[in-house]
Structure 1
Amino acid sequence: MSNHSLTRLINIALRGTTLGSKFLLIFFLAKFLEPKQLGLYGLLTVTIGYALYLLGFDFYTFTTREIIKLKRHEWGGLLKDQGALSLVLYVIVLPLLTVIFIEGLLPWSVAGWFFALLVLEHLTQELSRLLIAISEQLLASIMLFLRSGIWAVIVTGLMFFRADTRDLNVVLGGWTLGSFTALLLAIYRFKQLNISGWHKKIDWRWIGTGLKVAIPLLVATLALRGLLTIDRYWFADLVNLEVLGAYVLFMGISNALLSFLDAGVFAFIYPALISAHHNKDAAGFRLKLRALLWQTVILSISFAIFTLLVIDPLLVWLNKPLYLANENLFSWTLLITMLSALGMIPHYALYAQGLDRPIIHSHITSLLIFVPTTWLLSLYWPLQAVPAGLCVAFLFILLWKSLAFIRLTPAQYR
């Protein structure tokens, strides 16, 4: 077996273990916490996920494309510039986020955890993206395992054996410790790389150029992530925090598909797509795109079959009548994630070519479609309105990006 194949195998194993740990955590949280607490955990995680974009400004979309083109001795200046931008954003965004607690969207009891986790997740996420861009996928996977895997196993074990640890604060403490360990590992690795170019003055003009590229993509991402943040709050408003716990559980299971695709397929193929397009290698681009299509489709179908077979016995094991009573929500959440996964095929094909405009337009329009669709459905089917609205939005994104790819991609790259 070649070194590349072994690295990929270890990478997939690490990501698979991380996914398994996340799976384990969401089930044990559903088993040991009240549905209301699971609902709150769901709100907290999506709010942190959304706020991450405000701290990062999606600037990595510019940095990733740039760092691939540069030699190692030039990386330091680029990283210094991104660090300067992050510092400015921290000063502006963090105080603004207190509005979430002032307005009562989240309780003050989780404010400390929210800000600690937000900063740690942002730093580790940005460093992971840089590692992927410089072909250090294995280390990025180890970081992900520390951020999302090992602490979940430890917390699950604690909750299983000790009833006094079955509390949301224990979960959030484990998450904080895992993210902090991942951050230390990333810092250690970047010091080892002996990157030079740090002496360069901060290039605000380059940052400005990057923002011109990143901000339209950020608006698109905020619209897309807005779908998967508003949905939790809207669902809780239409039904209640207890049934939101069931929705969070089913979304947690379904989202494992996207995590697995991200780890085993997207992280490997999209840098190669960018590189093939940059080198005007049409045959290489087509080959990678075909691999992206088939691997995504086969993994999505396999995942759907497996989860539909195991969901019923798992819910019986949880022994919580609320989850069984709302089992029909699972088919909806599975459909949402499958449509989202398929939409990533034309997404990466467009992104690799620098064709950002259709991505931006589709994401913004999808939010504009989701809101009235969900509102209309909520008048008749309050329980299904939010997931059905998401299905309509993600189907729209898939169709828009596919048509844009066919229309805008030169024939030799299709």
Structure 2
Amino acid sequence: MKIYNLLIRGATLASRFVLVIFIARFLSTEELGAYSLFAASITYALFFVGMDFYTFSSREILSVDKSLWYGIIKNQYVFYIIFYFIGFPVIYSFFYFGFLPKHFIVWFYVMLVAEHLAQESMRLLVVLNRAFLANVALFIRSGIWVYAAVIIMFFNDDMRDVSMILALWLVGASISVLLAIPELWRIRNISADTSKISYAWMWKGLKIAAPLLVGTLALRSIYLVDRYSLNYFSNLSAVGIYSFYSSFASALLAFVDAVVVMQIYPKIVSSVKNNDFDGLAYYKKKFIKSVSILSVILVILLPIGVYILLLWMNKGEYIDYIPLLGILMLSSIVYSFALLPHYELYAHNEDKKIIISSLWAALVGVIVMPAGAYYFGVYGVAVGQVIAVIFLYINKILLLKKSKLYA
């Protein structure tokens, strides 16, 4: 990866943590909780309205001549419009059952459309081999507006509220969509496609994308039910405190993913495909050793860094719950180890088993996290998440052994 692409990616990743830190610094725990609920719900709803259809359409684009690309893209976006009409009434349940404050409803639908179009535009730029432009679009969508929000909150007391943050987020997502328009126009001009909208093609893609989406939605629900449970059985302040520490625990996961997983998992998949059992055993040991070492380092350094940060922020309400970080880091570490059997199953084309393990883990999470929230608050939810992730890990190992794929 070229250095400027790496810098843009790094700045985009850092923006997530910068925003949480400054919301916690300048806003109340309730406001951080409200923002966290909103952002987590948007992320989950994106899967539903998009149906992971890009996994099918991207492969279709890359398998035909450029002159046919525009016809595929046209059908892809018509598919999304159809699912807006299907998904929006279902998504209203977030507000109807009180999981999200109703005064956010307009913001939610507008942001959902902007975020989804931004996401699909970025994916399209990647498929069209415009990697740099895709990275710029991602930075505008997820990064630059965050730094603008931080500067505004730092210098203007009157602008320190969630609505300002949402407004800048909407601007960033909308601008990133505009970056893809020239590319779409260029493709349209070279298009030889005169076909009409193909609902049969959409149905074919849906049948391919939907099964894997079920597993994705199930697994992602673990990281949505936690916040919803706290909001329902406790309050937004508890959600804010939990979300603050959860963001740092997810930093551990993101770091392990970038440093270890992305480097080793292609080799694991390649070893499986080539029946290289010695290579598979070697890379599995390397994976376990690397994740273990990195986890130990982060378990030592991250709490120290967070504690120093909280002293600077002068936020005693967060310091009181610092043990929560340890529990959530344990969840991230177990999830990191669970990626090893996940990629083995993936390499063996055992998609069905991956889906099954995700569904069972989601079921466990849906049971234990609300119960934990009811009886023990933020600590109960965190322990419930650990239990769900451990179940995911064990289940994938058992599925590998049952299939006689475990080496």
Contact residue 12 and residue 264 of structure 1 kept, 8 A: no
Equivalence for 1:111:
105
Q: Distance in 1 between matches of 2:312 and 2:206?
A: 49
In structure 2, distance between residues paired with 1:365 and 1:23: 31
Return 327-336 or 128-137, whichever deviates more: 128-137
Matches within 5 A, 1:153-192: 153-192=147-186
Query: TM-score, normalising length from structure 1?
Result: 0.84
Alpha carbons 2:242, 2:378 under 8 Å: kept:
no
- 1:187 positional shift: 2.6
Aligned match of 2:378 = 383
- Structure 2 stretches of 5 or more lacking a match? none
Q: Could you list the runs of 5+ residues in structure 1 that have no partner in the other structure?
A: none
The equivalent of 1:320 in structure 2 is 315
Give 1:392's match in structure 2, choosing from 371, 384, 387.
387
Aligned partner of 1:152 in structure 2 is 146
Q: Give 1:203's match in structure 2, choosing from 198, 201, 220.
A: 198
- Deviation of 1:25 (Å): 1.1
Structure 2 contact 295–333 (Cα < 8 Å) conserved: yes
* C-alpha distance after superposition, 1:21-80 (max 9, x if no partner): 221111110011111111110111111111112211122233344445445444333322
5 Å-filtered alignment, 1:34-183, equals 34-133=28-127, 135-183=129-177
**CA 1:212–1:47: 2 relative to 1, 3 Å:** same
Read off the aligned partner of 1:36 and give its amino acid letter: E
Give the aligned residue type for 1:149: G
Q: Which moves more between the two structures, 189-198 or 174-183?
A: 189-198
Q: In the TM superposition, what is the alpha-carbon distance from 1:210 to its structure 2 partner?
A: 1.9
Q: How does 1:1-12 map to 2 (within 5 A)?
A: 5=1, 7=2, 9-12=3-6
1:227 has 2:248 as partner = no
Distance (Å, rounded) in 1 between the aligned partners of 2:289 and 2:186: 34
Query: Which residue is equivalent to 1:364?
Result: 359
Q: Deviations over 1:61-100 (max 9, x none)?
A: 3334444544544433332232121111012222443343
Matched to 1:120, the amino acid is A
Give runs of aligned pairs for residues 10-29 of structure 1, distance below 5 A: 10-29=4-23
User: Are the equivalent residues in 2 in contact too, given 1:50–1:222 (CA < 8 A)?
Assistant: yes
Could you tell which deviates more after superposition, 30-39 or 137-146? Answer: 137-146
Which amino acid in structure 2 is aligned with residue 256 of structure 1?
Answer: A
Distance 1:296 1:93 in 2: 41
1:146 alignment partner AA: I
* Alpha-carbon distance between aligned partners in 2 of 1:150 and 1:168, rounded to the nearest angstrom: 17
State the SS of the aligned residue for 1:106: coil
Cα distance change, pair 120–256 in 1 and its aligned pair in 2 (3 A): farther
SS at 1:255's partner residue? helix
TM-score, with normalisation over the residues of structure 2?
Answer: 0.85
Distance 1:393 1:80, change over 3 A: same
Maintained 8 Å contact 2:261/2:287: no
Q: Decide which moves more: 92-101 or 175-184.
A: 92-101
How far apart are the structure 2 equivalents of 1:70 and 1:408? 36
Contact 2:70 2:184 in 1 (8 A): no
Structure 2 distance, partners of 1:254, 1:32, is 21
Cα drift, residue 302 of structure 1? 4.9
TM alignment of 1:258-269, pairs within 5 A:
258-259=253-254
Is 1:218 paired with 2:213?
yes
CA distance, structure 2, for counterparts of residue 304 and residue 186 of structure 1: 41
Of 340, 346, 355, 2:350 maps to 355
For the 8 Å contact 1:336–1:390, the answer to whether it is kept is yes
Question: Does the CA-based 8 Å contact 2:226-2:369 persist in structure 1?
Answer: no
Structure 2 matches for 1:229-378, cutoff 5 A? 229-259=224-254, 290=283, 293=287, 297=291, 302-351=297-346, 354-374=349-369, 377=372
Q: 1:133–1:305: structure 2 CA closer, same or farther, 3 Å change rule? A: farther
1:369 and 1:393 in contact (8 A); partners too? yes
- What amino acid maps onto 1:359 in structure 2? I
- Whether contact under 8 Å (1:15, 1:260) holds in the other structure is no
Counterpart Cα distance in 1 of 2:145 and 2:117: 18
Query: Shift of residue 353 of structure 1?
Result: 5.3
Change (3 A) 1:133 1:391: farther
| Equivalent position SS for 2:137 | helix
Give the Å deviation of 1:400: 2.9
Taking a change above 3 Å as real, the CA distance of residues 102 and 370 of structure 1, as seen in their structure-2 partners, is closer
Mapped contact 1:265–1:295 kept (Cα < 8 A): no
The farther-off stretch of 37-46 and 64-73 is 64-73
* Alpha-carbon distance, 1:161 to partner: 0.9
Q: For the Cα contact (< 8 Å) 1:30–1:249, is it kept in 2?
A: yes
When structure 1 is superposed on structure 2, of 263-272 and 327-336 the one drifting more is 263-272
Asked if structure 2 preserves the Cα contact closer than 8 Å seen for 1:17 and 1:145, the reply is yes
Between the aligned partners of 2:374 and 2:99, the Cα distance in structure 1 is 23
Change (3 A) 1:356 1:114: same
Measure, in 2, the Cα distance between the counterparts of 1:27 and 1:144: 21
Q: Please, which moves more after superposition, 332-341 or 194-203?
A: 194-203
Offset from partner CA, 1:287-322 (integer Å, 9 cap, x none): 9x9499479726655544432230110111121221
Question: Identity of aligned pairs, percent?
Answer: 36
**SS at 1:381's partner residue?**
helix
Asked whether the 8 Å contact 1:19–1:260 carries over to 2, the reply is: no
Contact 1:73 1:196 (C-alpha < 8 Å) held by counterparts: yes
